[in-house]
Structure 1
Amino acid sequence: MSTLTFQGAVKEVTGSRYLLEVDGDRRIHRLLLECGLHQGGTDADAANARSFGRLPGELEAVVLSHGHLDHSGLLPKLVREGYDGPIHCTRGTRDLLEIMLQDAAFIMAKDVEWENKWRKRNGKPLIEPLYELKDVERTLSLCTSHGYGQPVSLSGGVTLVFHDAGHILGSAIVELAVPSGGQTRRLVFSGDLGNPSSVLMKDPEKLYEADLVLMESTYGDRDHRPLDETLEEFAQVLEEAHAAGGNVLIPAFAVGRTQEILYHLSVLYHEGRLRQQLVFLDSPMAIKVTELYHRARKSLDPDDLKVLNVAASGDTHRYLPILRMTRTVEESMAINRIHGGAIIIAGAGMCNGGRILQHFRYNLEKPSTRLVIVGFQAGGTLGRQIVDGAERVRVMGRDLAVKARVHTIGGFSAHAGQTQLLGWVGAFRHRPRAYLVHGEPGAQRALQMLLEQSGIEAEIPAYGDRIEL
């Protein structure tokens, strides 16, 4: 009998990883679904540092739903520890991995360099990064990309098909037909399901046949505000910031959220409703991803692109003329001389690193500043502390008073809300077993109760739980 073991993103949002063991004729075939980075605090750091043990040498394939680091960020560590088999993903995911994993390795190297300087001064043992650029290059060489709807034969007689998840470029719902106990069992993993109200991405595909469903539950306890209300709130915040004379800080994920925010800013600009003089995209990775989105615009929602008539040209200057892309550290630091009238979009989205921290140092203690939170903030992150109302936070070794006005605008989420999640899983015939992953316990329990009312048996697995298909 084939089995599935939950190794990550259980009762938490990050660290996606599931081990599929297929009972073949003479031996067990092992496939890994996802290999994500844990995010949020020292517990996450310890989980990321933990060795894979014998797993890299036992695996025959890795299957990846999309390129966000909480789904893909430990792949180079897996390769560093000995994995050399194929990594199956979509073409969009392969292109994003090249940008994201290289950036992650670069940041790790810098962080370890600073940490080791302190350790050397204090007589502590030195540490190594989880992986290096050479590990990323080896990882990318193992990637095999496939189109949506294209059946792919994997070891152990497993068949893989990717379906559009509508979350970010290349994101996929993973469908696996798995031999088990003399039958074929259909396992469907939602990956991260997109929000149908969000722009640029197409709506998530609905599937109708499954025996077992792994479903994300990030927003299992609530729906997002309607997009038109969200946009009005966003526009009002920008107007208030202009009146107060301060800057607007937007910590944004480099993939997906940044491109959506730029889209909405461009709409406001062309409607004559954007009073700010400059918009800075202060993230080298987000700049590369934005350029990739333009190159891959044929994969995006054509109706959204028509709004600004850029589908044919992809001209970023027409898209948002006041946009400035700051690639270098010197350009980023120069932004700190601007005391008002600017919108600054910078990573990281959960404020747990990146250039947004530097802008916090210069803007967070000003009452005229508007801090706009546009994405999910995992427990243990600086962003979560601020959203939860912290009056003081520690940023880059300094204690800062949070005097900026904080606005949480959840309607920009690239994740499906509660109603969309129920609609997606409700489309399956014959009520398959559901396992809720990628969610905090409260959100998972709320979704579990609603699913049970609909006649769908839903379980909330724990780390290490193993189930038969």
Structure 2
Amino acid sequence: MKIKVHGAAEEVTGSCIQITTEHSNIIVDCGLIQGAPKKEERNRAPFPFSLRELDAVILTHAHIDHSGRLPVLVGQGYQGPIHTHEANADLLDILLMDSAFLQEKEAEWANTKRSRKGLKLLEPLYTQDDVPPVLSLLNLHPYKQPIEITEDITMVLHNAGHILGSAHVELLIKESSHTKRIILSGDIGNPGSPIQEDSNIYGKADLVIMESTYGNRNHQSWDTSIVELKTALDEARQHGGNVLIPSFAVGRTQVLLYYFAKYYNEWHLRDWDIYLDSPMAIKVTNTYGKYWQLYKKESQYLWSGETLHQKLPNLKFTPDTEQSIELNSVHQGAIIIAGSGMMNGGRIKQHLKHNIWRPQCSLIVAGFQPEGTLGNRIVEGAKYIKLWGETVKVAAKVHTIGGFSAHAGQKDLLKWYQKFENSPRLVLVHGAQTTIQEFHDFMTQNVDSEITIAKHGEVIRV
């Protein structure tokens, strides 16, 4: 068989891996390439494989860097099955529709400038009308159930512990009289998450294709992060202003709500009004309630029925723009959870405009802020930021919480790989160039195996 990595080779977006056997041709993931404009232009390039010869698509999870080009794939003619975990039907509907809306808006903004210059107008990469045809092709499966997806490939999905519906993909591929076991990690969850069950794959394998997103660093412990969150809220209560929490809609928001419910009395959260000010995060949170049986036993109770609102009686959802604008006149006593997690867009920017210059307010940053983002500039100590061309002073107290990542860190990636009994051949994907090289060196020092870094379009033979 032949394997080609068409995306997330020495980068962290655009995941797409092609597997070709004597009888079958499939891809695992079809993610959006994100980042600088030159990178994103690659989303418009032709796919490096024939859509007519493609037998099946497997989706590890719904994050846009793994799923975001599916509307392009289907729009160009793919009509075969898209195999994924059953929880991803709801998440894909939410995330792909949001991605399509952003594609439409970006084209609209670009065309406003292009029309003034007399340039040819751009079409959005895809629109919201392109999402339902993708959803119609979904073949939904539970974990641990073998599914024959082609005449020589059987697929098994295993919980990856990353976000709701995330999966490691096990492929059992018949070749002559032998069966090869290929493992594609997707994104590997951070062990100890309060909601997601930890990853649970093991045994022997012939090849493991493994993500390396945080391959050069370790996360601090969940316990330390909980203490940091409590301390930040205690200080904010003494200062008397509002608390802003930029948050990712899938995973991070639900972790925060879990801890708010668990420590409601201990952290004096009754003294606050808590607002979830993100239409996407609200939809995702409601979706989490549909799949409560998938979570750790200690957190299942929170997501079933109306328990979340019973445990957090002062939690208010504000999906409408008008409701969000009303928060601009609230100057104290509000905890506002809003997107986006890196502060480059979304409603959090409006809340920064109305709060970050006020010394009695607090900003709790509970996620990694990549270089070049507004969030990174604030965390690095910027005294002033620009919002819509206006210079705004950073006077609010900034707290950073380091351990709530949905991705495994370096030592946990190593532990994940060591669950395989035979130290199988390892191919590294989904990591920035310097990160993945550091992780390669780290793994080489700690395991006795053939380890390579995938190159874009390189043929890997098994």
TM above 0.5, one fold?
yes
Q: Which residue identity lines up with residue 9 of structure 2 in the other structure?
A: V
Aligned ranges 1:245-260 → 2 under 5 Å: 245-260=240-255
Q: Determine if the alignment matches structure 1 residue 111 to structure 2 residue 103.
A: no
Q: Determine if the alignment matches structure 1 residue 468 to structure 2 residue 454.
A: no
Report the Cα distance in structure 1 between the residues aligned to 2:54 and 2:389, rounded to whole angstroms: 42
Q: Which residue identity lines up with residue 140 of structure 2 in the other structure?
A: S
Question: Hey, what does 1:406 align to over in structure 2?
Answer: 398
Q: Determine if the alignment matches structure 1 residue 349 to structure 2 residue 348.
A: no
Provide closer, same or farther for how the CA distance between residues 337 and 212 of structure 1 changes in structure 2, counting only shifts above 3 A: same
| Superimposed CA distance per residue, residues 388-443 of structure 1 (whole angstroms, 9 cap, x where no aligned partner) | 44554443444444444433312111112222211110011221111222222343
Q: Determine if the alignment matches structure 1 residue 193 to structure 2 residue 185.
A: no
Report the Cα distance in structure 1 between the residues aligned to 2:29 and 2:389, rounded to whole angstroms: 34
| Superimposed CA distance per residue, residues 259-294 of structure 1 (whole angstroms, 9 cap, x where no aligned partner) | 011111222323243375211111111101101111
Aligned ranges 1:449-464 → 2 under 5 Å: 449-453=441-445, 454-464=447-457
Report the Cα distance in structure 2 between the residues aligned to 1:182 and 1:399, rounded to whole angstroms: 68
| Superimposed CA distance per residue, residues 130-187 of structure 1 (whole angstroms, 9 cap, x where no aligned partner) | 1112210000000100111111112351111000111111111101122457643211
Question: Hey, what does 1:269 align to over in structure 2?
Answer: 264
Conservation of the 8 A alpha-carbon contact between 1:52 and 1:81: no
Question: Hey, what does 1:432 align to over in structure 2?
Answer: 424
Provide closer, same or farther for how the CA distance between residues 291 and 96 of structure 1 changes in structure 2, counting only shifts above 3 A: same
Q: Determine if the alignment matches structure 1 residue 212 to structure 2 residue 191.
A: no
Provide closer, same or farther for how the CA distance between residues 96 and 160 of structure 1 changes in structure 2, counting only shifts above 3 A: same
> 1:188 deviation in Å?
0.4
Aligned ranges 1:373-388 → 2 under 5 Å: 373-388=365-380
Could you say what secondary structure the match of 1:340 adopts?
coil
Question: Hey, what does 1:62 align to over in structure 2?
Answer: 57
Report the Cα distance in structure 2 between the residues aligned to 1:276 and 1:81, rounded to whole angstroms: 53
> 1:17 deviation in Å?
1.1
Report the Cα distance in structure 2 between the residues aligned to 1:421 and 1:295, rounded to whole angstroms: 30
Q: Which residue identity lines up with residue 265 of structure 2 in the other structure?
A: H
Report the Cα distance in structure 1 between the residues aligned to 2:40 and 2:382, rounded to whole angstroms: 23
Question: Hey, what does 2:223 align to over in structure 1?
Answer: 228
Q: Which residue identity lines up with residue 104 of structure 1 in the other structure?
A: S
Q: Determine if the alignment matches structure 1 residue 295 to structure 2 residue 290.
A: yes
Provide closer, same or farther for how the CA distance between residues 372 and 272 of structure 1 changes in structure 2, counting only shifts above 3 A: closer
Report the Cα distance in structure 1 between the residues aligned to 2:398 and 2:10, rounded to whole angstroms: 27
Conservation of the 8 A alpha-carbon contact between 1:252 and 1:258: yes
> 1:360 deviation in Å?
2.5
Report the Cα distance in structure 2 between the residues aligned to 1:137 and 1:146, rounded to whole angstroms: 19
> 1:312 deviation in Å?
5.3
Conservation of the 8 A alpha-carbon contact between 1:40 and 1:380: no
Q: Which residue identity lines up with residue 195 of structure 1 in the other structure?
A: N
Could you say what secondary structure the match of 1:213 adopts?
strand
Report the Cα distance in structure 2 between the residues aligned to 1:104 and 1:388, rounded to whole angstroms: 29
| Superimposed CA distance per residue, residues 319-369 of structure 1 (whole angstroms, 9 cap, x where no aligned partner) | 211111111111111111122322211122223322222222223333443
Question: Hey, what does 2:14 align to over in structure 1?
Answer: 15
Q: Which residue identity lines up with residue 458 of structure 2 in the other structure?
A: D
Report the Cα distance in structure 2 between the residues aligned to 1:360 and 1:20, rounded to whole angstroms: 46
Question: Hey, what does 2:158 align to over in structure 1?
Answer: 163
Question: Hey, what does 2:198 align to over in structure 1?
Answer: 203
Conservation of the 8 A alpha-carbon contact between 2:288 and 2:303: no
Q: Which residue identity lines up with residue 161 of structure 1 in the other structure?
A: V
Farther-moved stretch of structure 1 (324-333 vs 111-120): 111-120
> 1:113 deviation in Å?
2.3
Aligned ranges 1:353-372 → 2 under 5 Å: 353-372=345-364
What is the aligned-residue identity percentage?
45
Provide closer, same or farther for how the CA distance between residues 111 and 361 of structure 1 changes in structure 2, counting only shifts above 3 A: farther
Q: Which residue identity lines up with residue 41 of structure 2 in the other structure?
A: A
Report the Cα distance in structure 2 between the residues aligned to 1:311 and 1:372, rounded to whole angstroms: 24
Report the Cα distance in structure 2 between the residues aligned to 1:84 and 1:396, rounded to whole angstroms: 42
Farther-moved stretch of structure 1 (8-17 vs 424-433): 8-17
Report the Cα distance in structure 2 between the residues aligned to 1:17 and 1:53, rounded to whole angstroms: 10
Provide closer, same or farther for how the CA distance between residues 434 and 54 of structure 1 changes in structure 2, counting only shifts above 3 A: closer
Farther-moved stretch of structure 1 (315-324 vs 165-174): 315-324
Conservation of the 8 A alpha-carbon contact between 1:32 and 1:63: yes
Conservation of the 8 A alpha-carbon contact between 1:357 and 1:396: no
Could you say what secondary structure the match of 2:340 adopts?
coil
Q: Determine if the alignment matches structure 1 residue 148 to structure 2 residue 143.
A: yes
Equivalent of residue 335 in structure 1, options 327, 331, 352: 327
**What is the aligned residue count?**
461
Report the Cα distance in structure 2 between the residues aligned to 1:190 and 1:311, rounded to whole angstroms: 27
Report the Cα distance in structure 2 between the residues aligned to 1:3 and 1:394, rounded to whole angstroms: 49
Equivalent of residue 87 in structure 1, options 82, 92, 102: 82
> 1:62 deviation in Å?
0.7
Q: Which residue identity lines up with residue 288 of structure 1 in the other structure?
A: K
Question: Hey, what does 2:134 align to over in structure 1?
Answer: 139
Q: Which residue identity lines up with residue 214 of structure 1 in the other structure?
A: I
Q: Which residue identity lines up with residue 237 of structure 2 in the other structure?
A: H
Could you say what secondary structure the match of 1:154 adopts?
strand
Unaligned 5+ runs, structure 1: none
Q: Which residue identity lines up with residue 361 of structure 2 in the other structure?
A: T
Root-mean-square deviation (CA, aligned residues, Å) is 2.2
Provide closer, same or farther for how the CA distance between residues 42 and 365 of structure 1 changes in structure 2, counting only shifts above 3 A: farther
Report the Cα distance in structure 2 between the residues aligned to 1:77 and 1:422, rounded to whole angstroms: 35
Report the Cα distance in structure 2 between the residues aligned to 1:390 and 1:185, rounded to whole angstroms: 53
Q: Which residue identity lines up with residue 365 of structure 2 in the other structure?
A: I
Report the Cα distance in structure 2 between the residues aligned to 1:55 and 1:283, rounded to whole angstroms: 39
Provide closer, same or farther for how the CA distance between residues 364 and 436 of structure 1 changes in structure 2, counting only shifts above 3 A: farther
Tell me the TM-score normalised to structure 2 length.
0.93
Could you say what secondary structure the match of 1:125 adopts?
coil
Conservation of the 8 A alpha-carbon contact between 2:57 and 2:82: yes
Provide closer, same or farther for how the CA distance between residues 311 and 386 of structure 1 changes in structure 2, counting only shifts above 3 A: closer
Could you say what secondary structure the match of 2:254 adopts?
helix
> 1:123 deviation in Å?
2.5
